[in-house]
Amino acid sequence: MASMTTHSATLREQIEELIAVGALKPGQHLDETELATRFGVSRTPIRETLIQLASMGLVVIRPRRGAIVAELGPQQLVEMFEVMSELESTCGRLAARRMTAEEQKQLLAAHQACQQALDAQEPDAYYYKNEVFHEAIYAGTHNQFLIDQTRALYRRLRPYRRLQLRVRDRLANSYHEHDGVVQAIIDGDGERAARLLREHVMIQGQRFADLMASLSQLNQDAA
């Protein structure tokens, strides 16, 4: 039973990853037979996995028409990033107060790893290191409920956060914003950490326009 559960979790993670990296694009139909062949399983575990992904908001299951990768409209995106920025802001405030010396070391190591990806100009590598960086901040809150809620929304927004990093200069800007956040947390300045993380995650104005343009380009490439 344990191995079945593990296999199911692995399948979910693999399909979730394909959505996050844009290999399965917003609005794309998810063919159960095709996915079953791709992963070497029957259609039953694929169907169960799609139901799990639907509960996470990554997939939409339509009666008699099958599943598609969930699409977020412009207004939904703004609203979700607005909530994401507040959750991350709260994480920053608590982490600045509660992080242990060991957790601060892990945060600095994650920050250093982001710099290496930036220096190599590898957006994909930076994206994964960026996830580790944010996870280090979440862990520092010592509030499991907050961690779970923040992580769930982060996962829902993964495809869009990833796309943002492909916009010109966003890698360098993201890293410099991290720099300020790290310093605020190490200094124990919760209010500064909160403000900087809110600004780091919030998309508005030009950043939102850039994200929409990237998304439009992604959909054209898929056509």
Domains in the chain: ranges and CATH: 2-69 (1.10.10.10), 74-222 (1.20.120.530)
pLDDT in tens, 173-222: 999 999 999 999 999 999 999 999 999 999 877 888 888 887 777 666 65
What tens digit of pLDDT does each residue of 85-100 get? Answer: 999 999 999 999 999 9
pLDDT at 128: 92
One-letter amino acid identity for 190? G
Torsion of CA 10, 149, 74, 158, to 10 degrees: -30
**Tally of residues, the chain:** 223
| Region for residue 122 given its phi and psi (left: phi exceeds 0; alpha: psi -120 to 50; beta: otherwise) | beta
Tokens, residue 64? 């008699």
What percent of the chain is modeled with pLDDT above 70? Answer: 94
Q: Is the pLDDT of residue 4 over 60?
A: no
Chain centre distance of CA 1: 30
CA distance 68 to 53: 11
CA distance 216 to 223: 11
For 27-64, how does the pLDDT look when each residue is reduced to its tens digit (9 = 90+)? 899 999 999 999 999 999 999 999 999 988 889 999 88
The DSSP symbol for 65 reads T
Asked whether the predicted pLDDT for residue 117 surpasses 80, the reply is: yes
Radius of gyration of the chain (CA): 18
Rounded to 10 degrees, the C-alpha dihedral 129/221/70/27 comes to -170
